[in-house]
DNA sequence: GTCCGTCTCCCCCGCCCGGGGGAGACCGGT
DNA sequence: ACCGGTCTCCCCCGGGCGGGGGAGACGGAC
């Protein structure tokens, strides 16, 4: 019997692409589609797919929430393959922690997409598909990319520093960050200095640029 | 006779999606695909498509160059439909100035995609498809989005201010921008102030964030 | 028990940044 | 000839920012 797949992505074009790619395979069948995480639970209950190809970023309920919800409320849950545009999207790692079984880049080649679906369907985890490595390797050593890659590879930012960087990337001043985190401004300055040093940034603007370029934060979703 | 279409996009998934969407139409035929602008000219010569669906952002030769090249070197050139992720990508407007006939958001619904191809094939221009308006309207009035939308709608940045903003978004200081543009630092400060005022930004960091969020600049391509 | 890392806060200091003004030169449109 | 917009440069000034130190408290690792 074929591998059954449910597609969850807010962009119809991506769904159509995944469907087209997957249905070239006789042993893979796309049994349903959803445009948002909010619609996933009933669909999973009814269709009982082997694999859910889940976008991380969606308007109403994102892939992380949806992953948690499915794993929490459905018996014998499907395998979940997280689909994303960015190779080092922080949300992806959250999704994996939430119980997703693998992740897949949208820019992967068709053969890799098929391979990923087969792998997770077989119960394998797929945390670092070839395309990720290939992509990381394809980065040049330009001044911008070096810092961005370091951010990814070192991942030396402490939890607090990462939190501060996220707030910096939303345009907050040191004083505003201090108020938000309920600490002194001197403390924030400490963390900011740590971030700048670790990212090789001269000022907060460069740090925020690195955050965007590395995918640590990304345009389009100004989170809550 | 059917409308013939050539797909040019570096992501196979997007090509597959476009192909799947367009081939639901009996009168539309996808006659070829290319992964980069560099491959377009010979394909256009050989296949003589009515429409080229062209991604703006591609590794070797981007959609702007490719558009210019096609229009310059091919007799009876095809209509060119620029395909993009961002509704206000500065490159899109460059592409339109380069002679493209319309642009299309990747997140458009299938019916809109089909409609767009038909329109440009008929010789119509499609500069502001419904999906753009819909998308702009869907923006909330959060502090981040307001500024981003203003950037789009007002488009009040002068050429020089836009240039300065681009350099700000690459992490340059006022002094460095001045050196790059061969003007005084006071002049740069003037332009920076103009940018901040027009974007409603408090400091250069917020301005750069707006630049990213609005798609004025975008992650992934650290331009020359 | 000791050490290391993290988080917290403090000092001093230099300086770039951004605000608020103003002003001359050029160009294009009316 | 006039005016609006843009680009260029200048002044003063305050404040946030970032560097360079240091230090105490806590927790986990050894």
pLDDT digits (tens, 9 = 90+) for A6-27: 999 988 888 999 999 998 888 8
Q: Decide if pLDDT at B191 tops 90.
A: yes
What is the Cα–Cα distance from B22 to B218, expressed in whole angstroms?
Answer: 28
- Whose tokens are 């939308």? That residue is B149
More confident residue, A162 or B141: A162
What is the Cα–Cα distance from A78 to A130, expressed in whole angstroms?
Answer: 23
Pair B222, A144: CB distance under 8 Å: yes
Q: How many angstroms separate the CA of B144 from the C1' of C11?
A: 36
What confidence category does residue A221 fall into, taking pLDDT thresholds of 50, 70 and 90?
Answer: very low
Pair B108, B116: CB distance under 8 Å: yes
The verdict on residue A222 lying in a domain is no
Beta bridge partners of A3: A28
pLDDT of residue A157: 80
Provide, rounded to the nearest whole percent, the portion of chain B with pLDDT above 90. Answer: 24
Contact A219 B220 (CB under 8 A): no
State which residues form the domain around A82.
3-126
Partners of B30 on chain A (C-beta within 8 Å) are none
The verdict on residue B45 lying in a domain is yes
Which residue of chain A is at minimal alpha-carbon distance from B111? A12
Contact B12 A110 (CB under 8 A): yes
Give the best residue of A9, A149, A212 to mutate against chain B (max B CB count within 10 A).
A212
- Rounded to 5 degrees, φ, ψ at B195 are -60, -50
Query: Count of CB atoms within 10 A of residue B65's CB?
Result: 17
Query: Same structural domain for residues B55 and B149?
Result: no
Domain's final residue, options A126, A150, A173: A126
Q: Which residues are within 8 A (CB) of A166 and not within 5 positions of it... i.e. 6 or more apart?
A: A211, A216, A217
Q: How far is CA A42 from CA A7, A39, A47, A48, B139, in A?
A: 14, 7, 8, 10, 29
pLDDT tens by residue, B58-110: 767 778 888 888 887 787 788 888 888 765 555 655 665 567 777 777 877 78
Pair A197, A191: CB distance under 8 Å: no
Nearest-CB residue to A17 (from B13, B107, B213): B13
Please tell me the least confidently modeled range out of A108-117, A120-129, A197-206, B155-164.
A120-129
The verdict on residue A107 lying in a domain is yes
3-state secondary structure of A56: coil
Which of A163, A208, A209, A205 shows the shortest CA–CA distance to A188?
Answer: A163
Q: Decide if pLDDT at B43 tops 50.
A: yes
Using only C-alpha atoms, what is the Rg of chain A?
19
For position A194, which CATH number holds? 1.10.10.10
In eight-state DSSP terms, residue A182 is T
What is the Cα–Cα distance from A217 to B209, expressed in whole angstroms?
Answer: 11
pLDDT tens by residue, B128-139: 433 333 333 333
Average pLDDT over residues A157-168: 87
DSSP B45-85: HHH--SEEEEES--SSS-HHHHHHHHHHH-SSPPEEEEEES
Contact B107 A13 (CB under 8 A): yes
Give the best residue of B12, B107, B113 to mutate against chain A (max A CB count within 10 A).
B12
What is the Cα–Cα distance from B155 to B93, expressed in whole angstroms?
Answer: 12
Contact A219 B215 (CB under 8 A): yes
Average pLDDT over residues A188-211: 88
Whether A224 contacts chain B with CB within 8 A: no
pLDDT of residue A154: 47
The verdict on residue A63 lying in a domain is yes
Query: Same structural domain for residues A92 and A58?
Result: yes
What confidence category does residue A174 fall into, taking pLDDT thresholds of 50, 70 and 90?
Answer: very high
Q: Which residues are within 8 A (CB) of B137 and not within 5 positions of it... i.e. 6 or more apart?
A: none
3-state secondary structure of B111: helix
List bases in chain C with any atom under 7 Å of a protein Cβ: 5-11, 16-23
What is the Cα–Cα distance from B119 to B110, expressed in whole angstroms?
Answer: 14
Contact B208 A205 (CB under 8 A): yes
Q: Is the CB of B186 less than 7 A from some atom of nucleic acid strand D?
A: yes
pTM of the predicted structure, to 2 decimals: 0.47
pLDDT tens by residue, A29-38: 999 999 888 8
Chain A nearest-CA distance from B220, in A, is: 6
Query: Same structural domain for residues B17 and B100?
Result: yes
What is the Cα–Cα distance from A97 to B163, expressed in whole angstroms?
Answer: 42
For position A118, which CATH number holds? 3.40.50.2300
What confidence category does residue A186 fall into, taking pLDDT thresholds of 50, 70 and 90?
Answer: very high
Parallel, antiparallel, or unpaired for β A102-105 and B3-8? unpaired
What confidence category does residue A89 fall into, taking pLDDT thresholds of 50, 70 and 90?
Answer: low
Contact B205 A171 (CB under 8 A): yes
Task: Write out residues 119-178 of B within 8 Å (CB-CB) of A.
Answer: 142, 144-145, 168-171, 173
3-state secondary structure of A101: coil
The verdict on residue A147 lying in a domain is yes
Is the torsion defined by CA of B94, B95, B98, B99 positive or negative? negative
Structural domain total, chain A: 2
Q: How many angstroms separate the CA of A174 from the C1' of D22?
A: 21
Whether B209 contacts chain A with CB within 8 A: yes
């Amino acid at each position: 019997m074929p591998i059954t797949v449910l597609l969850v992505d807010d962009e119809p074009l991506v769904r159509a692409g995944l469907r087209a790619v997957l249905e070239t395979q006789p042993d893979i069948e796309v049994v349903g589609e959803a445009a948002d995480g909010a619609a996933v639970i009933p669909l999973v209950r009814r269709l009982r797919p082997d694999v859910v190809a889940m976008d991380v970023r969606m308007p109403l309920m994102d892939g992380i929430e949806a992953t948690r919800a499915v794993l929490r409320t459905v018996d014998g849950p499907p395998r979940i393959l997280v689909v994303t545009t960015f190779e080092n999207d922080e949300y992806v790692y959250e999704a994996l922690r939430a119980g997703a079984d693998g992740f897949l880049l949208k820019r992967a080649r068709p053969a890799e997409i098929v391979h990923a679906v087969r792998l997770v369907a077989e119960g394998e985890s797929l945390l670092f598909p070839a395309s990720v490595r290939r992509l990381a390797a394809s980065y040049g050593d330009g001044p911008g990319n070096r810092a961005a890659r370091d951010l990814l590879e070192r991942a030396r930012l402490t939890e607090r520093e990462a939190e501060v960087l996220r707030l910096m990337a939303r345009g907050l001043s040191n004083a505003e960050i201090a108020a938000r985190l309920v600490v002194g401004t001197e403390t924030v300055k400490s963390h900011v200095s740590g971030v700048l040093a670790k990212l090789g940034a001269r000022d907060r603007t460069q740090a925020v640029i690195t955050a965007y370029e590395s995918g640590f934060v990304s345009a389009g979703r100004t989170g809550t």
